[in-house]
Structure 1
Amino acid sequence: MPEGHTLHRLARLHQRLFAGAPVRVSSPQGRFAAEAARLDGVILGEAQAHGKHLLHHYENGLTVHVHLGLYGTFVEQPLPVAEPTGQVRMRMIGADHFSDLRGPTACRILLAPEVAALRARLGPDPLRPDADPEAAWSRVSRSRSSIAALLLDQSVLAGAGNVYRAEVLFRHGVPPMLAGSRLSRQDWDAIWADLVLLMEEGVRTGRIDTVRPEHDPHVMGREPRRDRHGGEVYVYRRAGMPCLICGETVLMRDLQGRRLYWCPHCQAG
């Protein structure tokens, strides 16, 4: 599932390509046709993201809420418009580009109170300027759940996914199964600041890189990572391989239906 930086990257792209002008909106697939008719020709005021949710705010007071889920994708192309291929849920046509949305978990219209309710259910997003890390710390510091579980709870902290979860805990030597109530405030502040840094870099580059410069492949004399997810990482999807720092075998276990990766030595606590 795309992590929060992907949605912020999309929001910034759609803001640049479509905002401030009327947008032609349609649903070649048909499943969003009635909703698209309410938006067709209306000016897109702003595109923004909160966690893993993309929000297109139109000037008629309607908002399109998109959650990509596991299979959703947007594809942007320059005009002229091409014939739809595959199941295009929503098509947006602007002055010089068009964008096709396929396979989202959610694509629906929300009114302003519904947008407010959605955002109220989400924790602070490290990529948003209005984020309040104190709100997340309040939830974390009172919880008996593991910090690994809490970092994926979108009501606690919005946007971080499995990759950022594993990597930020490794970078700060935090045992993933440590209860949130036992995490120090110093460690929390470091984790939050690091997520801001790493996720903003993800928005800029379009990939997740978490390895510090001194551990880059060319510095360490190792082969670059070859993985469809891209990016240089310490532990994510490296189960059974030696830790880049200490050489201990990276471990993996299932936690609430997601795979958790960590180094038992570097994250011993």
Structure 2
Amino acid sequence: MPEGHTLHRLALLHQRRYAGAPVEVSSPQGRFSAEAAVVTGKVMTAAEAYGKHLFHHYGPQGTVHVHLGLYGSFTEHTVPVTEPIGQVRMRLVGGTHWTDLRGPTRCELLNPGEVEAIVARLGPDPLRRDADPERAWHRISRSRTSLAALLMDQSVIAGAGNVYRAEVLFRQGIDPLLPGRSLRHEQWEQLWADLRDLMRDGVRLGRIDTVAWRHRPEVTGRAPRNDRHGGEVYVYRRAGQPCLVCATPVAQTELAGRNLYWCPACQRP
């Protein structure tokens, strides 16, 4: 599932290419046709992301809400527009560019109250200027649940996923199974700041890169990472491989239906 930096990159891209002018919206697949008819020809006033949710605002006509889920994706193109290929849920056409949305978990037209209800269920998003990390700390500091589970809970922190969860806990040297209420406030402040910086790098680079320069292939001489997720990481999907810091084999287990990765030496209980 795309993590929060991907949605923020999409929001920035769509804001630049489509906002401020009338756009054509259609649903070649047909599943979004009624909603598309309401907003087509209208001005997209803004595109923004909150966590893993993307919002296209159309003023009084409402807001198109997209959640990509596991299989959703946008493909971006320059005009002229070509015939649809595959199951295109929503097609958005602007003056110079157009984009097709396929396979999302959610693609719907919402009123302001419905948008507010979605945002109200989410924790602070490290990539938003209005984020309040103390809201997340309030939940974490009172919970017996492991930090690894809490960081994946979108009602605690919005936008962080499996990769950021594993990497920020490693970088901070924190046992992923530590109960939230055992975390010190100064540790939380450092964890939040690191997560925010990593996710900002993700927006800038378009990939998740978490490895410090001194541990990168260019310095150590090791082979670069070869993985479809891209970027250099410390522990994510490196089970059984030597830790880049201490050479201890990276551990893996399943937690709440997701794979968890950590270094037993660098992240001692």
Q: TM-score, normalised by structure 2?
A: 0.99
State the Cα distance separating 1:60 from its structure 2 match: 2.5
Residues in 2 aligned to 1:220 and 1:61: alpha-carbon distance in whole angstroms: 55
Residues in 1 aligned to 2:173 and 2:234: alpha-carbon distance in whole angstroms: 12
SS at structure 1 position matched to 2:168: helix
Corresponding residue of 2:12 = 12
SS at structure 2 position matched to 1:22: coil
Amino acid in the other structure paired with 1:242:
P
SS at structure 1 position matched to 2:60: coil
Corresponding residue of 1:189 = 189
Residues in 1 aligned to 2:96 and 2:33: alpha-carbon distance in whole angstroms: 23
4+ aligned runs moved over 6 Å, structure 1 = none
Residues in 2 aligned to 1:128 and 1:240: alpha-carbon distance in whole angstroms: 36
Residues in 2 aligned to 1:154 and 1:142: alpha-carbon distance in whole angstroms: 17
Kindly indicate whether residue 235 of structure 2 is the aligned counterpart of residue 235 of structure 1.
Answer: yes
Amino acid in the other structure paired with 1:26:
S
Kindly indicate whether residue 41 of structure 2 is the aligned counterpart of residue 30 of structure 1.
Answer: no
Residues in 1 aligned to 2:231 and 2:122: alpha-carbon distance in whole angstroms: 27
Contact 2:72/2:105 (CA < 8 Å) preserved in 1?
A: yes
Kindly indicate whether residue 63 of structure 2 is the aligned counterpart of residue 81 of structure 1.
Answer: no
Residues in 2 aligned to 1:18 and 1:52: alpha-carbon distance in whole angstroms: 20
Residues 154-200 of structure 1, C-alpha deviation per residue, up to 9 Å, x if partnerless? 00000000000000000000000000000111111011001110001
Contact 1:149/1:256 (CA < 8 Å) preserved in 2?
A: yes
SS at structure 1 position matched to 2:149: helix
The percentage of aligned residue pairs carrying the same residue is 66
Contact 1:42/1:60 (CA < 8 Å) preserved in 2?
A: no
Corresponding residue of 1:138 = 138
Contact 1:81/1:98 (CA < 8 Å) preserved in 2?
A: yes
Residues 58-112 of structure 1, C-alpha deviation per residue, up to 9 Å, x if partnerless? 1234000000001100011000001000000000000110010000000001100
SS at structure 1 position matched to 2:90: strand
Residues in 1 aligned to 2:133 and 2:11: alpha-carbon distance in whole angstroms: 22
Residues in 2 aligned to 1:229 and 1:266: alpha-carbon distance in whole angstroms: 24
Corresponding residue of 1:213 = 213
Residues in 1 aligned to 2:37 and 2:60: alpha-carbon distance in whole angstroms: 12
Contact 1:61/1:112 (CA < 8 Å) preserved in 2?
A: no
Residues in 1 aligned to 2:187 and 2:214: alpha-carbon distance in whole angstroms: 22
Residues in 2 aligned to 1:82 and 1:44: alpha-carbon distance in whole angstroms: 22
SS at structure 2 position matched to 1:108: strand
Amino acid in the other structure paired with 1:260:
L
Corresponding residue of 1:62 = 62
Corresponding residue of 2:165 = 165
Taking the TM superposition and a 5 Å limit, the aligned residue runs for 1:139-158 are 139-158=139-158
- Unaligned regions of 5+ residues in structure 2, if any? none
Would you say how many aligned residue pairs link Structure 1 and Structure 2?
Answer: 269
Amino acid in the other structure paired with 2:248:
E
Residues 238-269 of structure 1, C-alpha deviation per residue, up to 9 Å, x if partnerless? 00111010011100000000000000000004
Q: TM-score, normalised by structure 1?
A: 0.99
Amino acid in the other structure paired with 1:78:
T
